[in-house]
Amino acid sequence: MKEPIKWTLNRMPKSDDRQLAVMSLPNVAKARFFHSGFPQYSITPLAQLEGMARYLGLGGLYVKNEAHRFGLNAFKVLGGSFAMARYIAKEMGRDVSEMTYDYLTSGAFRQDFGQATFFTATDGNHGRGVAWAAHKLGQRAVVHMPKGSARPRFDNIAKEGAQVTIEELNYDDCVRLAAAEAAQTEHGVIVQDTAWDGYEEIPSWIMQGYGTMAGESAEQLRQIGVNRPTHVFVQAGVGSLAGAVIGYYTNLFPNDPPRFIVMEARAADCLYRSAMAGDGAPRSVDGDLKTIMAGLACGEPNTISWDILRNHVSAFLSCPDWVSARGMRMLGVPVKGDPVVISGESGAVGMGVIAALMETDEYRDLREAVGLDRYSQVLMFSTEGNTDPMKFRKVLWDGEYPTV
């Protein structure tokens, strides 16, 4: 018997919602302007899965495919690069709009600013993005990875010239290590997509960077005649991506926002546990956090994002690994006529969840509670491509993590 998806509706008391302003439309526009200056920038595809939508009984299903982002196979670079630009702008007493790619890669910038060292912890994608941006902008990067990290992800970070290690620590302890080293290093700064008391500015900038992806998706939907998605499914580790997407879409449609469903890996379901507790306070999960969804293996919520999520999410889901594996197979071998989406373990969980909700009556109560039906226009985010080739083959070729 496969483990079921656990879920809870959001019945938490609301806060004053002051963090929603982090993802204001002007803030996201600044990030989009910055990213568009990179020669590697292009809008990533929005896959319209018409056949899958019909098969599942939905009005429409749309997958934002981040495997094409800057040639890095994942969305994370959007956050780290924009946070670097905002940090540099603040240090120089200038506005981030002046931190164009051309300026940041110029000799004049090197004379004006010099070099900083950007520290971070990562399962792979965020660290690769920080390392890539640091390399492009002539800065230094130090990256720590948790135990069990995949060698291909390590190699991809090292190729960008970063100093990278795999530690005998879980993700959250790697964050603490990176923060401690940054504090002891001249011109050292930690660029982490999780926030805690006293460390909130840089995570808010990272979230704004992720807003580029959300803003692109809204434009792409409008271009195909979908003014507003009715449902947005978004995965969460610390919750930064989820808070960014939900914050953006709530600001975009303040009077009629979509329904938001947040999904986590079972081994690191801190947001789900927080929602289950029901009092509005965030909870943490510790231990090894072992899951196929390495990018979601984070046990301590981002406090900025949590404030957004508790106010705007309809349901929180805790997902066993088979959910992601099924999503990878469904996206990689789609209904005839639909585009193929190569989605990694942390990118495909939305597809597995949407299918589980629509295909059987096991999750009928949740389906009805969030109003999923044949009129629903559903958006999800495939946040990474094939970033761990051996694991990808085991799932797609060998049927690892079956649904029965």
pLDDT tens string 140-154 = 999 999 999 999 999
Same domain membership, residue 184 and residue 323:
no
The stretch 353-378 carries a mean pLDDT of 97
pLDDT of residue 257: 98
Same domain membership, residue 247 and residue 181:
no
Query: Could you give the CA distance from residue 170 to residue 145 in angstroms, rounded to a whole number?
Result: 8
pLDDT band at 196 (very low <50, low <70, confident <90, very high): confident
On whether the CB atoms of residues 156 and 117 are closer than 8 A, the answer is no
The stretch 266-291 carries a mean pLDDT of 95
- Domain presence at residue 14: yes
pLDDT of residue 39: 96
Residue 6 has pLDDT above 90, yes or no: yes
Same domain membership, residue 190 and residue 311:
no
Same domain membership, residue 247 and residue 373:
yes
Domain boundary among the residues 179, 197, 215 is at 197
The stretch 144-169 carries a mean pLDDT of 94
Same domain membership, residue 265 and residue 138:
no
> pLDDT averaged over the chain?
96
Kindly compute the dihedral angle of the four CA atoms of residues 155, 161, 167, 173, in this order, to the nearest 10 degrees.
-120
**Could you tell me the residue range of the domain that residue 233 belongs to?**
6-74+202-396
Residue 1 has pLDDT above 80, yes or no: no
The stretch 282-300 carries a mean pLDDT of 92
pLDDT of residue 123: 85
Domain boundary among the residues 178, 197, 216 is at 197
pLDDT of 76-103, one tens digit each? 999 999 999 999 999 999 999 999 999 9
**Backbone Cα Rg of the chain:** 20
Same domain membership, residue 222 and residue 173:
no
pLDDT of residue 163: 96
| Angle of CA points 25, 132, 21, to nearest 5° | 20
**Cα(first)–Cα(last) distance of the chain, in Å?**
6
- Domain presence at residue 401: no
pLDDT of residue 341: 98
- Cite the active site residues: 76, 123
Q: Which residues, at least 6 apart from 189, have a Cβ–Cβ distance to it below 8 Å?
A: 87, 116, 117, 118, 119, 182, 202
pLDDT of residue 382: 98
| Domains contained in the chain, number | 2
pLDDT of residue 193: 86
Domain boundary among the residues 149, 172, 197 is at 197
Same domain membership, residue 175 and residue 210:
no
pLDDT of 43-58, one tens digit each? 999 999 999 999 999 9
Residue 391 sits in a domain of what CATH number? 3.40.50.1100
Phi, psi of 55 (to 5 degrees): -60, -40
- Domain presence at residue 319: yes
Coil/strand/helix, residue 321: helix
- Domain presence at residue 1: no
- Domain presence at residue 298: yes
Same domain membership, residue 98 and residue 62:
no
Query: Could you give the CA distance from residue 346 to residue 44 in angstroms, rounded to a whole number?
Result: 18
pLDDT of residue 392: 96
Same domain membership, residue 351 and residue 224:
yes
For β-strands 6-9 and 315-319, DSSP reports them as: antiparallel
Coil/strand/helix, residue 236: coil
On whether the CB atoms of residues 46 and 66 are closer than 8 A, the answer is no
Coil/strand/helix, residue 324: helix
The stretch 33-43 carries a mean pLDDT of 97
Say what the pTM is: 0.96
Residue 356, exposed/middle/buried by CB under 10 A (0-12, 13-18, 19+)?
buried
Same domain membership, residue 83 and residue 153:
yes
